[in-house]
């Protein structure tokens, strides 16, 4: 995880090494063995150029020069191509790694490098080419005969592709933007925290006085002043190039916990230290005891609780679930750990976890993991603690997470809908600081009786994921008939309203409307009451004179019947047409039957099964108003009421 903690600046070192009369391949192999992948890529690229595997860039307005002939054996070319791909991938430069893996595969060297297709698929996923990635990974799974753990990696990556594809299609309602200005540099910038009107963050930005870009903790005013590096009393700093990062304050701001590390030869030593604010400056750094810093193991990324009584941190020491885990230590009044315990196998996985943040108000742990279903790399997850037990971690979704590394969550202390994170989603090498604005909101509305317009208490209202068909939340309405749901993503949702004696209604959740702060107010929903075998008049179903052909406006009205049938898939109805008293019985029966059948045919054409709706023409046999007045004169108003279309619920199951 070198990229997470520090950016290796090697240009000056490489220039010196280049004077040594050693082949780039040998230097690349040496650097790769020492896990200096950035340096290894530099030398393997030189070797590739020496073999003419890299095309020269053409200058504008000049004719294309002839490409030099490749040198070296095909086997040597494949080796350099594969090792260059590996070096790029292992310092997480997936964009550069992808074409070199492809070169190995396309030139038929997969038998010599059987993992090339696996890592090619991983690079495609990291570069957000999810469909092609899944195709390559599936091919790897079907043909690979080696170590089962590599098949497990491929299957996990396939699941990641599918999850990521859905996340990118239906993102979480959060806006994520890069923070510019003094918080952005030519190195890595990450682990931002905010205290009052100050930002504190870690950066490996270049400093004129230093030959190497080292990680330092910086402080700057929110007004975008020039960041200043925090200076600690560190007696050993002169012996090695010591680096500092990932700060965490206890509530008074007088005690600061940090990660401190330095490199000695090919080994890097990490530990968690603390410093006290005394006499206007930060005092001597003291290393926490072995409850946190176990001898021979790595402990990093401290987060101290607001009351200063607990420290969350990351370590690979014994007693974990595998890789780096989240641990918790109780602190005494001096800020020293008196114990430590692993957060357990719900929070931690067999892979790596990093960068914990604990919200004591919500009992919520936010951290990054490679071990659970995500979009790729490190993803941010949430887990809640209830009575000492953690809930299953939930992925925070895209765009909070990306196909690359996302970590160092920290909320803004003055805006509850804003938080910060660090990610390399826009970079080939380095973490950058992002600010996120939470646009998740509540959907609020009221359910009424369509007839009397009174609140319909006791009705059941559900929020349904219309893609998965799952009920996310279901409530029973109180006396005021109001409901409220939390809307978190751009996935399509439906509100489903049900009550005995009423038609169920399914209403799509609006994406826009009247928004007040973090609440979207939905229009009132009314439910239509019904009784089995009791006709309901459908107003404004119109026909031309002496015809059964539906007018266009009539189809619009009948769409309401279609929706009722779709929202209530178990009911069966009779759709009936009636006439007034003018004309013979035979004529009226025939006309009403034809009109009823026209309505039924239209409803069936809209996707309703023909065994759920039946046509019936009653002619003039069932008037609901007099066709003539008591004095024998014509009653136009009565005849108009009798010329009607109705539907009747026959069965509800």
Q: How far apart (Å, rounded) are the C-alpha atoms in residues 485 and 473? A: 8
**Beta pairing class for 255-264 and 243-249:** antiparallel
Q: Which residues contact 328 (CB under 8 A, 6 or more apart)?
A: 310, 311, 312, 313, 340, 341, 343
DSSP 603-623: HHHTT--GGGEEEEEEETSS-
CATH of domain 174-438: 2.115.10.20
Give the pLDDT score at 223.
Answer: 66
Structure tokens belonging to residue 108:
């038929």
The CA-based angle 552-553-557, given to 5 degrees, is 120
Cβ neighbours, 10 Å, residue 224? 12
Give the pLDDT score at 2.
Answer: 39
Beta-bridge mates of residue 286: 274
In the chain, where the domains are located: 2-56+69-169, 174-438, 441-527, 536-651
Cα 309–chain centre separation = 32
Give the pLDDT score at 51.
Answer: 93
Burial readout 564-586 (b: 16 or more C-beta within 10 A, e: otherwise): bbebbeebbbbbbbbbbbeeeee
Q: Domain 441-527, what fold?
A: Immunoglobulin-like (2.60.40)
Are the folds of 2-56+69-169 and 536-651 the same?
no
Give the pLDDT score at 211.
Answer: 76
Question: Running along the chain, 653 residues long, what does each successive block of 10 average in pLDDT?
Answer: 41 46 89 94 95 64 53 92 97 94 96 97 95 97 95 96 94 94 91 93 88 90 84 83 95 95 88 95 96 97 94 97 97 96 97 97 96 94 96 97 96 94 91 96 94 96 93 96 94 95 94 78 92 94 84 93 96 95 94 96 96 96 93 90 94 90
Q: Please tell me whether the overall predicted TM-score, pTM, comes out greater than 0.85 for this model.
A: no
| 586-629: pLDDT as tens digits | 999 999 999 999 999 999 999 999 999 999 999 999 999 999 99
Q: How far apart (Å, rounded) are the C-alpha atoms in residues 350 and 367? A: 15
Give the pLDDT score at 511.
Answer: 78
Which CATH superfamily, name and number, covers 2-56+69-169?
Tetratricopeptide repeat domain (1.25.40.10)
Which class is domain 536-651? alpha beta
């Amino acid at each position: 995880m070198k990229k997470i903690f520090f950016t290796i600046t090697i240009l000056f070192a490489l220039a010196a090494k280049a004077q040594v009369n050693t082949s780039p391949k040998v230097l690349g192999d040496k650097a790769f063995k020492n896990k200096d992948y950035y340096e290894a890529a530099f030398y393997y690229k030189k070797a590739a150029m020496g073999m003419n595997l890299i095309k020269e860039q053409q200058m504008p307005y000049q004719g294309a020069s002839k490409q030099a002939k490749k040198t070296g054996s095909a086997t040597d070319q494949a080796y350099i191509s594969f090792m260059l791909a590996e070096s790029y991938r292992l310092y997480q430069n997936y964009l550069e790694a992808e074409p070199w893996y492809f070169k190995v595969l396309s030139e038929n060297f997969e038998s010599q490098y059987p993992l090339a297709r696996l890592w090619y698929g991983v690079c495609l996923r990291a570069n957000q080419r999810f469909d092609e990635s899944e195709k390559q990974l599936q091919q790897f799974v079907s043909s690979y005969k080696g170590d089962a753990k590599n098949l497990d990696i491929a299957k996990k990556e396939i699941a990641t592709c599918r999850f990521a594809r859905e996340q990118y299609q239906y993102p979480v309602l959060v806006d994520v933007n890069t923070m510019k200005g003094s918080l952005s540099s030519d190195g890595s910038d990450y682990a931002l925290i905010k205290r009052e009107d100050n930002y504190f963050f870690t950066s490996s930005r270049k400093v004129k006085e230093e030959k190497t870009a080292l990680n330092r903790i910086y402080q700057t005013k929110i007004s975008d002043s020039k960041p200043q590096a925090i200076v600690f009393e560190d007696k050993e700093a002169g012996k090695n190039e010591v680096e500092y990062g990932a700060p965490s304050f206890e509530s008074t701001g007088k005690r600061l916990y940090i990660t401190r590390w330095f490199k000695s030869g090919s080994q890097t030593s990490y530990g968690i230290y603390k410093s006290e604010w005394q006499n206007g400056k930060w005092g001597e750094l003291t290393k926490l005891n072995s409850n946190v810093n176990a001898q021979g193991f790595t402990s990093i990324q401290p987060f101290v609780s607001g009351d200063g009584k607990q420290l969350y941190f990351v370590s690979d020491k014994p007693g974990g679930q595998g890789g780096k885990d989240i641990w918790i230590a109780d602190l005494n009044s001096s800020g020293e750990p008196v114990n430590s315990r692993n957060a357990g196998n719900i929070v931690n996985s067999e892979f790596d976890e990093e960068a914990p943040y604990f919200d004591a108000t919500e009992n919520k742990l936010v951290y990054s993991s490679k071990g659970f279903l995500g979009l790729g790399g490190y993803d941010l997850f949430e887990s809640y603690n209830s009575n000492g037990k953690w809930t299953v971690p939930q992925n925070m979704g895209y765009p909070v997470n990306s196909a690359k590394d996302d970590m160092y969550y920290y909320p803004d202390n003055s805006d509850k809908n804003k938080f910060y994170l660090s990610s390399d989603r826009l970079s080939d090498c380095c973490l950058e600081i992002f600010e996120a604005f939470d646009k998740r909101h509540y959907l609020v509305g009221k359910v009424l009786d369509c007839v009397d317009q009174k609140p319909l208490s006791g009705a059941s209202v559900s929020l349904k994921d219309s893609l998965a068909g799952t009920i996310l939340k279901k409530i029973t309405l109180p006396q005021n008939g109001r409901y409220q749901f939390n809307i978190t993503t751009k996935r399509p949702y439906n509100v489903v309203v049900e009550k005995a004696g009423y038609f169920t209604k399914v209403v799509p959740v609006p994406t826009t409307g009247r928004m007040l702060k973090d609440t979207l107010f939905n229009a009132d929903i009314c439910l239509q009451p019904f009784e089995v075998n009791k006709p309901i008049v459908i107003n404004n179903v119109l026909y031309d004179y002496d015809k059964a052909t539906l007018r266009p406006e009539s189809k619009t009205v009948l769409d309401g019947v279609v929706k009722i049938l779709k929202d209530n898939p178990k009911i069966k109805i009779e759709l009936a047409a009636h006439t007034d008293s003018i004309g013979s019985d035979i004529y009226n029966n025939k006309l009403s039957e034809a009109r009823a059948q026209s309505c039924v045919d239209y409803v069936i054409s809209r996707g309703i099964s023909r065994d759920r709706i039946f046509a019936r023409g009653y002619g003039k046999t069932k008037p609901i108003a007099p066709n003539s007045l008591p004095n024998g004169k014509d009653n136009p108003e009565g005849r108009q009421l009798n010329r009607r279309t109705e539907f009747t619920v026959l069965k509800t199951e």
